[in-house]
Amino acid sequence: MLVMVIVVGRLYDIYLSKECIRVALTVLFMSIIATLANLIDNDLIKYTIEVILILSALLYSNYQSKNKLNLDFIQILKSKLNKK
């Protein structure tokens, strides 16, 4: 990540915001956890960690979309389900 920020900054004069770096580090951290969870032999523990990762990714995505894009996917789904 650090190398990417330095190379893009020096070559193209593009500087990433702290928000972008924070999101990229969160994705990298979750990817590392998923890779390590896949190495666990106990299936119950492995699938529990993976379900927790998926749920936390969904919650993080919903949080970011609410705050940055003013989109609330949960409300959109509720309204679509209530129409049917």
> Region 4-16: what's the mean pLDDT?
80
Residue 1 pLDDT class (50, 70, 90 cuts): low
User: In the chain, how long is the greatest CA-to-CA distance?
Assistant: 54
pLDDT of residue 21: 82
**Is 0.85 surpassed by the pTM of this model?**
no
Provide the pLDDT for residue 35.
94
pLDDT one-digit tens code per residue, 54-68: 999 999 888 888 888
For the record, the structure tokens of 44 come out as: 């119950």
What is the pLDDT averaged over residues 37-51?
A: 93
> What value does the mean pLDDT take over residues 22-37?
91
